[in-house]
Amino acid sequence: MAGTMEDTLLRLLSDTHLPAEGPRKQAELHLQAAQTNPLFPGSLAAIAGHSSVSPEIRQSALLLLRSFVEKNWSGQDENGPSIQIDEGVKEGLRVQMLELATSGEADRKIKSAASYVVSKIANVDFPEQWPNLLPQLLNLIPNATDAQLHGALKVLADLVEDSLSEDQFFSVARDIVNACYGVAVNTGRKASLRAMSISVFRGTFDIMDMVKDEHGPEIKGFAEEVINAWSPFFMDVMKQSLPARPKGDDEGYESGRDDLSESWRGTICLKLQVVKILMKIRMIFPQILLPQSPALFSATWEELTLVAESYKDMYIDNDEQGRLEDADGLPYTLDFLVLEELDFLQSCLRAPPVKEELEKQLQQNSGVASTPWVMDVMKLAVGYAQIPKEEEDLWDIDVNLFLAEETSVTANYTARTACGDLLIKLGEWLNQGALEGLLAYTQALFASETATWRTREASLYLLTQLLTDFLDMSKEVAPPIATAFLGLIDYAINRNDEPLLRARGYLVSALLVQCLPDVALGLLDRTIKAVNGDESEVVKVACIKALQGFMKAHTVPADRQVPIIASISDFLYAKDLTDLEDADDLLVCLVETLRDGIELDTRIAISSESSALDLLFVLAKHGAANFQLTMLVSESFENITGTLAGSQEAYVALCTKVLPSLTGAFDVGNMTGDDPLVELATELLAVLTEKGSEPLPPGFVAAALPKLNRLLMATTEGGVLRPGVEAIKFMLMHDHQQVFAWHDDQNRSGLEVCLIIIDKLLGPNIEDNAASEVGGLAAELVEKAGQERLGPYLEQLLRAVASRLASAEAAPFIQSLILVFARLSLVGAQDVVEFLAQIEINGQNGLQVVLSKWLEHSINFAGYDEIRQNVIALSKIYSLNDQRLVQTMVKGDLIIPTSNRIMTRSQAKLNPDQYTIIPAPLKIVKVLIEELLSASGIQNAASAAAAAAAEFADEEGENDDWEDVPNVLDLGLGSTKAELMAYGEDRSATFMRQKDDETQAYLTEFFLRAGREDLAGFKSIYDLLTEEERAKLNELAGGQ
């Protein structure tokens, strides 16, 4: 039978590799159905263990087995029922998978796949059902063959990462560390295996990091012991010279693995893992590493100095392949090593013993520029900051990649960017001294006849990074230093055959002018001219980017505004605009520069002689799918509208200019509303209307509402519905007479059109989030139209709002609908209660439905005006002292469970939160007390104090004189994973209210009056409050 099952599965697995979709899908379905067969897992294991079966099929069998184990091994699966696996089968699989993972099997992919299966089993079974797993691995490691050792280390790595609990770690940590040490120091082993053992050792520090807060002394003592034991080995590896570099087209990376290339790769791999673990130790136990920091600094410095020439030859002068990892995820190329060592060097630079020694040398010399180590740092940084050949070639093809580096939006962290970070850290320490040192080195470099354009560009690139940080931190740059650099810029921008040096010159000039009191007008004019006059595309976009810096300096003369915008226009229209749709970075750069140009004097937006706004809309049209760009366009348009709205004449001119463009965008596409351009146009129309005059310009509604109405009736997309409904709300706010006087092509009035739109958005086929603005529109319509205009429609409208509120779930939508009744209650609370008490919603009384939702969600309201309106409305409803309110029972306080057991998700579903049930007036008082705390800022102060206390406690616990935020987010760290996962939890998204004096004053007066006059039986309600609530009210009364 077993043989038959194996044959069947072998055939099905083979079919899953077929190119034809039909047979492949059929095979996958059959494999899914076969999982219920008790022989299924054992047969897959048998297939995986057959060396006669092709590696691809064996891998497939192991992948399928891993997913089967993951879903069914524990007997519980959150996503559905699981298949029970017999204990005998489990025992057989444990043995088979561990044997395969640690066998002499040559194929690493097979062993890796087997180790993943072992890891999934161990997650459930270790140590209770599989107590001998770790002892077996540790016994095997010392005498294993290389192939066996690889498998054992792979399993051990998975075990350390996924399966060890805190208690287990304490009992086995020393054995694991000793086993790793034995491999790492054994020069008879392959360097890649030694590197792998260091990687496993590094994994133990992740566990130490997670448990050090609870078990500080024990963990620190253990860490100190093992670090001291390993340190001589670390230092030996750091000082070990790289072997001779293999020669050939690919340096042995892709050609046959001869001994030379294997030695080169292995040594780099080993060194990399040592630097990585030193970085990890510095992050977690910096004090332990502190005494060794000078020696480590020196070793790292020497290595970087020695390999600089090889790095230059491989990656700067030539385009050799870098950023490579082996099958186990261990990096082995020189660029990776240099990157890690640059980061570690930067880290060591801030260690107190290193700083002390370097500062002593600074004091022994007459200035920073004459201190040898400063010049050596500049030389090292410039050497590694040169543009790699690969980047140069890519920038020549696509200027977006050039801009991505300039704006730091690229995820490609390179030696060049690491050197920029190194200079920034030096600037944080030496301040002006870092600029002085860089100036001295750069001047010497520019004066040298042997210097290349790459080194000169690199020195200016480092200046870019340093100046950007100075400007961001509002640190002053001495004018003489900035002026001295300007002289070098003149040289750079005149290098006709060196476009990247020219581009860098323009970019640096834009930063230098922000540090000088008087703008260099000649340089500005040269930059404007080069936007279209330079032959290099990279230089052109660098100049467009550089113009932003000149405008930030706030000294651009008024007569340069038109030439700046004209240069952008000429650049844009010289291109095939359809090519821009994939050029996100260039589009963003153009919008940013155009925005800054317009904001020099926003009146240019309404000038008949300027195409500034047309340019903005053209860029928006071609980049509407880019979120960052649409945000920039919206913000820019909002600023323009806001500054022009102060003048009725200017606002009318703006509307005349932009309304045709905005409403014309509604015709684009198939009118389904899913076109990003339509969404952006709707958002801009909402901005234009919000800033509108009162009344709106004549004809505004007739120009905007017809197409907007058709659009809203044709779409269900929230991105269009939300701003579209807001735009109509603002029309009503500013000029409801014009809205009501307008009629559509079917002679329906503006009032009727608004009611139809509201009716659609309250319908069941519109999602909550898409309809989240409908309440604001309904409230505005009711307020402006009144009973006399709405007549019977008022009751229908309010009934529809109440009915939709009953099923609403999204918080913004619930707030929007509740505010309809809240705003009505401000002027007619009794009428609102009367109306709700008379209607029925899904078999329940309307007052019960609406008040329950209202009082449950009030404390989550957002927006100053909305919170204030809600507070006043609730106080007026309470003051009615209506018996129907007393009889309306709603959710009260959360009932805290007595059990202290940790609640799992499944248990939480079975045991949802329980609340007390209390009368509505009591709940209103509780809500208003909560709002009083928020309005007074007490809750925020308490939260801020708690956060500060926690932060202070962290600082006290880790006051080690050598700590900073890590340069690179280490996703391998357990603490990092936990922090990232916390962002997905509801509890981390705490909404903090800000202090509101007006609301606080209103509530203070309300409670004082309620206590004084026993308003609506307030004294009896007071007795039902919690101690904390009564204490707050007593404090309030005592302070008056």
Tell whether the model's pLDDT for residue 746 goes beyond 50: yes
Q: Which two tokens stand for residue 115?
A: 């180790």
Tell whether the model's pLDDT for residue 389 goes beyond 90: yes
Q: Using an 8 Å Cβ cutoff, are 40 and 53 in contact?
A: no
Least-confidence region, from 111-115, 229-233, 952-956: 952-956
What is the rounded distance in angstroms from the CA atom of residue 32 to the CA atom of residue 25? Answer: 11
b/e 969-984 (16+ beta carbons within 10 angstroms → b): ebeebbeeeeeeeeee
Query: What residue ranges in 726-800 does DSSP mark as E strands?
Result: none
* Mean pLDDT, range 755-760, rounded to an integer: 96
> Which residues, including other chains, have CB under 8 Å from residue 185's CB and lie 6 or more apart?
194, 233
pLDDT number for residue 769: 95
Q: Using an 8 Å Cβ cutoff, are 466 and 437 in contact?
A: no
Q: Which two tokens stand for residue 11?
A: 């055939």
What is the rounded distance in angstroms from the CA atom of residue 658 to the CA atom of residue 660? Answer: 6
Residue 108 class from Cβ within 10 Å (0-12 exposed, 13-18 middle, 19+ buried)?
middle
* Band (965; pLDDT cuts 50, 70, 90): very low
DSSP type of residue 579: G
- What is the rounded average pLDDT for all residues in the chain? 89
Q: Using an 8 Å Cβ cutoff, are 300 and 280 in contact?
A: no
| pLDDT digits 0-9 by tens, 469-482 | 999 999 999 999 99
> Which residues, including other chains, have CB under 8 Å from residue 400's CB and lie 6 or more apart?
583, 584, 585, 586
Tell whether the model's pLDDT for residue 667 goes beyond 90: no
Q: Using an 8 Å Cβ cutoff, are 626 and 584 in contact?
A: yes
The residue ranking higher by pLDDT, 668 or 354, is 354
pLDDT number for residue 72: 92
Whole-structure pTM value: 0.83
Q: Using an 8 Å Cβ cutoff, are 813 and 771 in contact?
A: yes
Tell whether the model's pLDDT for residue 879 goes beyond 90: yes
Q: Using an 8 Å Cβ cutoff, are 993 and 987 in contact?
A: no
* Band (186; pLDDT cuts 50, 70, 90): very high
* Band (97; pLDDT cuts 50, 70, 90): very high
* Mean pLDDT, range 966-979, rounded to an integer: 41
Distance of CA 935 to the CA centre of its chain: 31
| pLDDT digits 0-9 by tens, 497-555 | 999 999 999 999 999 999 987 767 899 999 999 999 999 999 999 999 999 999 999 88
What is the rounded distance in angstroms from the CA atom of residue 475 to the CA atom of residue 861? Answer: 40
pLDDT number for residue 525: 96
* Mean pLDDT, range 860-867, rounded to an integer: 91
Residue 918 backbone dihedrals phi, psi, to 5 degrees: -135, 160
CA distances from 312 to 268, 326, 441, 446, 462 (A): 16, 23, 19, 20, 17
b/e 566-585 (16+ beta carbons within 10 angstroms → b): bbbbebbeeeeeeebeebbb
What is the rounded distance in angstroms from the CA atom of residue 257 to the CA atom of residue 266? Answer: 11
| pLDDT digits 0-9 by tens, 990-999 | 445 567 789 9
- CA-based angle 114:119:121, to the nearest 5? 95
Tell whether the model's pLDDT for residue 253 goes beyond 80: no
pLDDT number for residue 904: 46
What is the rounded distance in angstroms from the CA atom of residue 1020 to the CA atom of residue 943? Answer: 32
User: CA end-to-end span of the chain, whole Å?
Assistant: 89
Residue 747 backbone dihedrals phi, psi, to 5 degrees: 65, 25
* Band (836; pLDDT cuts 50, 70, 90): very high
Percent of all residues in the chain with a pLDDT value above 70, rounded to a whole number: 90
Query: Which of 604, 550, 540, 526 shows the shortest CA–CA distance to 570?
Result: 540
Q: Using an 8 Å Cβ cutoff, are 523 and 513 in contact?
A: yes
Hey, what amino acid is at 130? W
The residue ranking higher by pLDDT, 732 or 214, is 732
pLDDT number for residue 993: 57
pLDDT number for residue 991: 45
pLDDT number for residue 665: 87
Query: Which of 770, 840, 1033, 967 shows the shortest CA–CA distance to 282?
Result: 967
Residue with tokens 């260099």: 520
Q: Which two tokens stand for residue 987?
A: 């509890």
The residue ranking higher by pLDDT, 677 or 454, is 454
* Mean pLDDT, range 173-192, rounded to an integer: 96
* Band (463; pLDDT cuts 50, 70, 90): very high
Tell whether the model's pLDDT for residue 943 goes beyond 60: no
What is the rounded distance in angstroms from the CA atom of residue 467 to the CA atom of residue 67? Answer: 52
Neighbours of 703 (CB within 10 A): 18
Residues linked to residue 749 through DSSP beta bridges, in sequence order: 743
pLDDT number for residue 340: 97
pLDDT number for residue 939: 56
What is the rounded distance in angstroms from the CA atom of residue 368 to the CA atom of residue 346? Answer: 18
Q: Using an 8 Å Cβ cutoff, are 509 and 523 in contact?
A: yes
| pLDDT digits 0-9 by tens, 769-794 | 999 999 999 999 999 999 889 988 99
* Mean pLDDT, range 665-682, rounded to an integer: 73
* Mean pLDDT, range 906-916, rounded to an integer: 66
Neighbours of 827 (CB within 10 A): 11
Neighbours of 894 (CB within 10 A): 10
| pLDDT digits 0-9 by tens, 269-301 | 999 999 999 999 999 999 999 999 999 999 999
What is the total residue count of the chain?
Answer: 1040
Tell whether the model's pLDDT for residue 709 goes beyond 70: yes
| pLDDT digits 0-9 by tens, 219-239 | 999 999 999 999 999 999 999
* CA neighbours closer than 13 Å in the CB half-sphere of residue 354: 25
Q: What is the DSSP code string of 906-920?
A: HHHHHS--EEEEEEH
pLDDT number for residue 938: 63
Taking only Cα atoms into account, the Rg of the chain, rounded to an integer number of angstroms, comes to 35
What is the rounded distance in angstroms from the CA atom of residue 358 to the CA atom of residue 374? Answer: 9
